[in-house]
């Protein structure tokens, strides 16, 4: 129902990067002054007269802010403008990306530039300054918060009479009263056995409808409570890697006029896959203990515990201004602002059984099918081809590692990459593509692949097998000479022809004169050739480092750290940022085996070992972005990053995660 009322004071600072006259990219905030704990919305808008390809903005480092929520919207509008041929319609397309942020501390803070790619071209917004201090909106007691209004509760601008708001509230109250009467009637019919109505009036399916038999569910118990954050969980005791589904809901008895998501659950100890996160909540009706409530889904996640012990699903925290139903002649009561949190729920994580664990267990927990395929069963010698190994089923296939292939000696494994995806229905897949090179002609067989997995439903290991793949390796006329060895009918290499080492007769018949000069003496030629060979060896040693010990990755990084320490001593912010950024690329390139800065850091992260990515991926991304900001961001955006103590702290933080990556390289080398 549309609410007609006074529009919140909207203050925005806009900084635009214009691409010709057709496209513009701009950012704005709904206010620039607030207290710690308040929230505001930053909007990145892309406006164009043409249909353009707009990628999601790259969110900068938000060190002084918490990202509470984000959503996007698209609009197309037409208007009449005066053109060369008279009045004509002009189409304007707008795509907006909204980010709800909350400051962590007092002071003058800066939101860094957002980067947007439109039709392959990069646009950057300017930083926006936010002043934080004073009293929070939630403690003013006047019922008028300074926080942003979420998209679910729009307000109309000034110019409308206040009586329309009263009429609208009266209509909504009448509607709520009729709905409550209907709910009470349905409950009475259930108690009397006179209807086939379900006890909980949930409409739709999926996470919004709730779980059939959750292991844990928190429901409101106080009928006078303004709103309540509920959490329901399908299991509270699982194995490592087994899926836990969690839904968070908000229950309310009044009209929620604002809703600020103050804290999303951290979910430490879990691998998280998002099933649903709703930017605009939608209410349905549900009766709890005879009291009608309005219920809306906040989020639904699939969680996979990564180690045994006790993992805690921590709280989901929101702040809302709620107007409760009035009494007597008043249709609506006064609005009050509250902050509520969901319950913290411990999850017992059992280790995977050691007894009976097969040697070929690859970490797959769930019910998966296994398939392997090749592009073609006839391949030329010395020409690479792809072997694809695919896991697909119920569970998180992203945690599966590539199993041992046990390839024949005629096949050389050159490279491998993987692709994985988790679907909202709880199924997932992971596909490994392995590049192989046959080194000998003839028939060869890729043995059947056998992989053991763990089924948490039965608490037992099971094995999946593929069929052997027979290949025919044929002659490759484009292969270099001598690159392969052709097999004869008897299975032995063809005998090479022998060429007699004989000089032409005219040379053999030549004899030097007794009066020949000293240049014809054998010892002279020995000295000349020795000098030539010696000079070539010296040059080769300089060029290729023969005889020198190759430096390890740890030594190279420690050498670069000296440059970082020198820059820290001189408080050279840009140099510290650039040196640390280069060190990250050096180490990530070695860990992934893909070289240095030719790839994006996100691509390199996908190529490092899964265990390293799970444990340190978030820390790698955060610290890398800090030094990238120090390297390239405008001076006014650096803020506390320029502080010597902060720089030193960030460098030490980065050294710890870099040491973990170097350790992974050393273990791989062993």
Residue 250 scores a pLDDT above 90: yes
Residue 136 scores a pLDDT above 60: no
Q: Rounded CA gap, 391 and 502, in Å? A: 64
Class level of CATH domain 15-139: mainly beta
Most confident region among 71-85, 500-514, 626-640 by mean pLDDT: 626-640
- Considering the chain, what percentage of its residues have pLDDT values greater than 70? 69
Contacts of 54 (CB under 8 A, 6+ apart): 46, 95, 116, 117, 118
Q: Mean of the pLDDT values across residues 130-137?
A: 74
For the question of whether the overall pTM of this predicted structure is more than 0.75, the answer is no
Residue 87 scores a pLDDT above 90: no
Predicted confidence at residue 193, as pLDDT, reads 42
Q: Rounded CA gap, 250 and 259, in Å? A: 10
Q: Counting beta carbons within 10 angstroms of the beta carbon of residue 617, is it exposed (0 to 12), middle (13 to 18) or buried (19 or more)?
A: middle
Predicted confidence at residue 633, as pLDDT, reads 66
Largest distance between two CA atoms of the chain = 138
Confidence band (pLDDT; 50, 70, 90) for 487? very low
For residue range 592-607, what is the model confidence (pLDDT) as tens digits?
A: 766 554 456 667 777 7
Residue 159 scores a pLDDT above 60: no
HSE of 211, CA atoms in CB hemisphere, 13 A: 20
Own/partner contacts of 645-654, CB < 8 Å, gap of 24 or more, are 647/568, 647/571, 647/573, 647/576, 648/568, 650/623, 650/626, 651/564, 651/568, 651/576, 651/580, 653/619, 653/623, 654/580, 654/583, 654/584, 654/623, 654/626, 654/627
Q: Counting beta carbons within 10 angstroms of the beta carbon of residue 300, is it exposed (0 to 12), middle (13 to 18) or buried (19 or more)?
A: buried
Q: Counting beta carbons within 10 angstroms of the beta carbon of residue 635, is it exposed (0 to 12), middle (13 to 18) or buried (19 or more)?
A: exposed
Confidence band (pLDDT; 50, 70, 90) for 309? very high
Contacts of 82 (CB under 8 A, 6+ apart): none
Choices 1.20.120, 1.10.3470, 3.80.10, 3.30.2030: CATH for 553-669: 1.20.120
Predicted confidence at residue 197, as pLDDT, reads 36
Predicted confidence at residue 126, as pLDDT, reads 87
Contacts of 502 (CB under 8 A, 6+ apart): none
Residue 17 scores a pLDDT above 50: no
At 220, is the secondary structure helix, strand, or coil? coil
Place of tokens 């950024």: 581
* Nearest CA among 230, 226, 246, 247 for reference residue 238: 246
Confidence band (pLDDT; 50, 70, 90) for 15? very low
For residue range 320-345, what is the model confidence (pLDDT) as tens digits?
A: 988 877 654 444 667 888 899 999 99
CATH 2.60.40.740 domain range(s) in the chain: 365-474
Q: Note the CATH architecture for domain 365-474.
A: Sandwich (2.60)
Residue 181 scores a pLDDT above 70: no
Q: Mean of the pLDDT values across residues 442-459?
A: 91
Residue 244 scores a pLDDT above 60: yes
For residue range 383-430, what is the model confidence (pLDDT) as tens digits?
A: 889 999 999 999 888 888 888 888 888 888 877 888 988 887 888 999
- CB-based contact 351:240 (threshold 8 Å): yes
Tell me how far the alpha carbon of residue 467 is from its chain's centroid: 35
* Nearest CA among 318, 321, 187 for reference residue 249: 318
For residue range 363-383, what is the model confidence (pLDDT) as tens digits?
A: 889 999 999 999 888 999 988
Q: Rounded CA gap, 63 and 37, in Å? A: 15
Q: Mean of the pLDDT values across residues 185-198?
A: 44
- Of residues 662 and 304, more confidence is placed in 304
HSE of 134, CA atoms in CB hemisphere, 13 A: 11
- H/E run at residue 25: strand 23-29
């Amino acid at each position: 129902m549309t609410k007609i009322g006074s529009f919140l004071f909207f203050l925005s600072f806009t900084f635009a990067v214009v691409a010709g006259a057709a496209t513009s990219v701009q950012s704005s905030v709904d206010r620039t002054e607030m207290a710690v704990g308040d929230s505001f919305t930053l909007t990145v808008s892309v406006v164009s007269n043409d249909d353009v390809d707009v990628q999601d903005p790259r969110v900068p480092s938000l060190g002084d802010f918490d990202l509470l929520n984000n959503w996007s919207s698209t609009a197309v509008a037409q208007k009449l403008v005066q053109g060369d041929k008279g009045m004509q319609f002009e189409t304007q397309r707008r795509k907006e990306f909204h980010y709800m942020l909350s400051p962590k501390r007092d002071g003058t803070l800066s939101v860094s530039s957002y980067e947007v790619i439109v039709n392959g071209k990069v646009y950057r917004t300017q930083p926006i300054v936010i002043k934080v201090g004073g009293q929070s909106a939630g403690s003013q007691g006047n019922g008028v918060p300074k926080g942003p209004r979420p998209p679910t509760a729009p307000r109309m601008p000034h110019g409308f009479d206040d009586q329309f708001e009263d009429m609208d509230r009266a209509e909504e109250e009448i509607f709520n009263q009729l709905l409550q009467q209907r709910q009470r009637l349905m409950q009475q019919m259930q108690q009397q056995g006179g209807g086939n109505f379900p006890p909980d009036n949930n409409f739709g399916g999926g996470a919004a409808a709730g779980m059939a038999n959750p292991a844990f569910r928190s429901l409101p118990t106080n009928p006078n409570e303004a709103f309540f954050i509920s959490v329901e969980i399908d299991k509270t005791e699982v194995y490592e890697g087994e899926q836990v589904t969690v839904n968070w809901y908000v229950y309310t008895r009044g009209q929620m006029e604002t809703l600020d998501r103050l804290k999303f659950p951290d979910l430490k100890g879990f691998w998280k896959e998002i099933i649903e996160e709703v930017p605009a909540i939608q209410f349905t009706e549900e009766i709890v203990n005879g009291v009608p409530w309005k219920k809306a889904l906040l989020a639904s996640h699939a969680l996979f515990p990564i180690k045994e012990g006790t993992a805690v699903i921590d709280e989901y925290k929101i702040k809302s201004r709620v107007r409760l139903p009035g009494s007597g002649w008043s249709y609506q009561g006064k609005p009050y602002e509250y902050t509520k949190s969901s319950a913290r729920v411990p999850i017992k994580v059992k280790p995977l059984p050691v007894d009976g664990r097969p040697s070929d267990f690859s970490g797959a927990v769930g019910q998966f099918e296994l398939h392997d395929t090749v592009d073609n069963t006839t391949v030329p010698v010395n020409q690479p081809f792809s072997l694809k190994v695919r896991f697909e089923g119920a569970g998180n296939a992203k945690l599966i590692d590539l199993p041992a292939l046990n390839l024949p000696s005629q096949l050389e494994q050159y490279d491998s990459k993987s692709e994985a995806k988790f679907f909202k229905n709880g199924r997932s897949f992971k596909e490994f593509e392995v590049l192989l090179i046959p080194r000998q002609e003839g028939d060869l067989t890729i043995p059947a692949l056998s992989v053991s997995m763990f089924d948490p439903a039965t608490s037992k290991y099971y094995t999946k097998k593929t069929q052997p793949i027979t290949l025919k390796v044929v002659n490759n006329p484009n292969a270099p000479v001598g690159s392969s060895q052709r097999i004869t009918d008897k299975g032995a290499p063809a005998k090479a022809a022998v060429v007699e080492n004989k000089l032409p007769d005219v040379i053999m018949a030549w004899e030097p004169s007794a009066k020949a000069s000293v240049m014809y003496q054998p010892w002279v030629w020995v000295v000349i050739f020795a000098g030539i060979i010696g000079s070539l060896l010296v040059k080769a040693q300089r060029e290729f480092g023969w005889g020198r010990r190759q430096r390890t990755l740890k030594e190279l990084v420690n050498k670069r750290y000296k440059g970082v320490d020198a820059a820290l001593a001189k408080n050279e912010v840009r140099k510290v940022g650039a040196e640390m950024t280069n060190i990250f690329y050096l180490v990530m390139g070695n860990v992934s085996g893909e070289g240095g800065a030719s790839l994006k850091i996100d691509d390199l992260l996908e190529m490092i070992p899964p265990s390293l990515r799970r444990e340190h991926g978030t820390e790698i991304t955060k610290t890398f972005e800090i030094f990238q900001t120090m390297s390239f961001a405008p001076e006014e955006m650096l803020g506390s990053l320029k502080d010597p103590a902060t720089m030193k702290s960030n460098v030490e933080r980065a050294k710890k995660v870099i040491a973990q990556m170097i350790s992974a390289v050393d273990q791989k080398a062993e």
